[in-house]
Chain A
Amino acid sequence: MAEKIVAELVANVWKVLVADGDTVSEGDTLVILESMKMEIPVHAEASGTVSALSVTEGSTLEEGDLICEIS
């Protein structure tokens, strides 16, 4: 079952470090968000393949917005 990675806060997307289809390991940094001058790396909590990547650099996320799925 795919693990959904969602934004936990209102933030801008500063860096996207993965692409759909990439293989990632638990702990890898997927994207780096930016809010209130803090850079917040979002890590994979499981190993798998990135899918449904739904963010681009510079976009704004609301709390709960989907970042990607890992299956």
Chain B
Amino acid sequence: MFETVLVANRGEIARRILRTARSLGIRGVAVHSDADATLPFVTEADTAVLLGGASPAESYRNIDRILAAAKDTGAQAVHPGYGFLSENAEFARAVQDAGLIWIGPDPEVIDLMGDKINARNRMAQAGVPVGAGTPDPVHEVTAAVDAVAHIGYPVMIKAAAGGGGMGMAVARDEGELRKQFEAIRGFAERTFGDPSILLERFFSNARHVEVQILGLADGRVVALGERDCSVQRRNQKVAEESPSPGVDEALRRRMLDAAVRAGEAVGYRGAGTVECLVSGGDFVFLEMNTRLQVEHPVTEAVFGIDLVEEQFRIAAGEPVTFDPETLTPQGHALELRINAEDSKRFLPGPGTIAQWREPVGDGIRVDAGYTQDNKVTPFYDSLMAKLIVHAPSREEALARAREAVRDFAIQGPKSNLEFFTELLDDAEFTSGTYDTGLIARMRRPATR
């Protein structure tokens, strides 16, 4: 095992990785921006290295400075967390070229899966179901109409350069397609400077369900259950659970088998996630995330394993702690992302934390990036903490989550705790019948 690992990230995920490193007797190196100097992941690390200013370009995305920090501190391996450089093949190669171990899949796999069209083709070859869509960007409305003749309605019109849930619309017939195509193309041109459009079959009332995979050091790929991530605002997840209440045993078996095939097809090594859309008892591949996910703790809770420890072991060429043949999920887990944003329209609201009190108790885990007196700045994402609950049944997990949300106290920055109170009492959510349209139905989404 490694003696020293550098964590190329910040906030809760850096703190969480450093915690596992410490438990394994590994020295943890934190790198940070000047804006984050007093956060727990920095103050608790064995060694902390200042990278530069607050902007990610000067700090968490600065490959040269991170590699220099690794060299100066004698790190043997680099864990990238999620976001920032975690799916940057150039960084992964630079880490390897510097003679260090990259805690993640091969850079070639990151590249392959980062290209949506190549990824989809490779998955289809591997026997993973993929949804119909255009293989290349579409530039003219006539080409779009022709393409939909093969894809079928309803269809999602997407700005190829879009992101963050912007530049997307659904068309249910040719009239809507013609109108929306021009609108999205104009928006894409003005906003992203690129009018290219992609078309994909749209699944209404779909659930976003993903499978956790681990590619082991011996070459085997195992699937560690699924997570339901359908509770989303602005196409971004805010609550996840495992197992998914919308997936029965037969569908689960098919999804897990497909995810293993997906991993095997690309020689996957380490932790990864196969994201799918589930609709009407069927599923299609969306994308593969070649890193640890924010919502990994729900899998850890139901399987009783530490995924970061398994990542370390795989990267070090060691066996994992569990027997893939006998590992089975136990009970039900929920994760709520406690963000610095308001509960009604989800607008971000940084600030200094005047009060911070985390809930404690059986089956309650809090992965926090902040604590009392820390400042939540506008430079990074709004995630302050993740509240994870685990209980023998979904009903008990919901009850435990309600109590934990009530006991969580945050003063200073805005928080979405009130939203979770609402969610945990929402009839659609508690019945488990929800899909990705849940929050939009709960309230009109923030539009300005």
Contact = CB atoms under 8 A, between A and B. Distances in A.
Interface string B223-256: 0000000000010000000000000000000000
Contact of B348 (A15, A29, A36, A45): A36
B101 to A, nearest CB: 29
Contact of A32 (B191, B234, B349, B381): B191
B448 A9 contact: no
B439 to A, nearest CB: 15
A55 interface: no
Interface string A35-54: 11111111101000000000
Contacts of A37: 380-382
Interface residues of B, number: 21
B191 A9 contact: no
A41 B166 contact: yes
Contacts of B380: 36-37
Given A40-B448, A43-B448, A35 B191 contact: no
B190 A38 contact: no
Interface string B375-413: 000111110000000000000000000000000000000
Contacts of A39: 163-164, 166
Contacts of A45: 448
B347 interface: yes
B382 A38 contact: yes
B142 interface: no
B381 A36 contact: yes
Contact of A17 (B190, B340, B446, B448): B190
B187 interface: yes
B56 to A, nearest CB: 9
B347 A8 contact: yes
A39 B167 CA distance: 12
B420 to A, nearest CB: 18
Nearest to A38: B348
Contacts of B187: 29
Most chain B CB atoms below 10 A, which of A10, A37, A45 = A37
Contacts, number: 53
B118 to A, nearest CB: 26
A11 interface: yes
Interface string A1-37: 0000000111110010100000000000100100111
Contacts of B348: 9, 11, 35-36, 38, 40
> Size range of the interface on A?
10 to 19
Contacts of B163: 39
A9 to B, nearest CB: 5
B184 to A, nearest CB: 12
B350 A10 contact: yes
Nearest to A8: B347
B23 interface: no
B448 A36 contact: no
B393 to A, nearest CB: 35
Nearest to B378: A35
Contact of A36 (B190, B382, B446): B382
Nearest to B446: A40
A9 B349 contact: yes
B447 interface: yes
A32 B448 CA distance: 9
Contacts of B191: 15, 17, 29, 32
Interface string B162-195: 0110100000000000000000000100110000
A43 B447 CA distance: 7
B378 A10 contact: yes
Contacts of A43: 447-448
Contacts of A40: 347-348, 446, 448
B447 to A, nearest CB: 6
Contact of B378 (A8, A36, A41, A42): A36
Contacts of A17: 190-191
B381 A42 contact: no
Most chain A CB atoms below 10 A, which of B234, B348, B349 = B348
A17 B164 CA distance: 17
Given A36-B381, A40-B446, A41-B166, 13 more contacts: A8-B448, A9-B347, A9-B349, A10-B350, A35-B378, A36-B379, A38-B164, A39-B164, A39-B166, A40-B448, A42-B448, A43-B447, A45-B448
Q: Kindly list the 9 A-B residue pairs having the minimum CB-CB distance in the complex, ordered from nearest.
A: A36-B348, A36-B382, A37-B381, A39-B164, A42-B448, A35-B348, A43-B448, A35-B378, A17-B190
Interface of B: 163-164, 166, 187, 190-191, 234, 340-341, 347-350, 378-382, 446-448
9 contacts: A9-B348, A17-B190, A17-B191, A29-B187, A32-B191, A36-B348, A37-B382, A38-B382, A43-B447
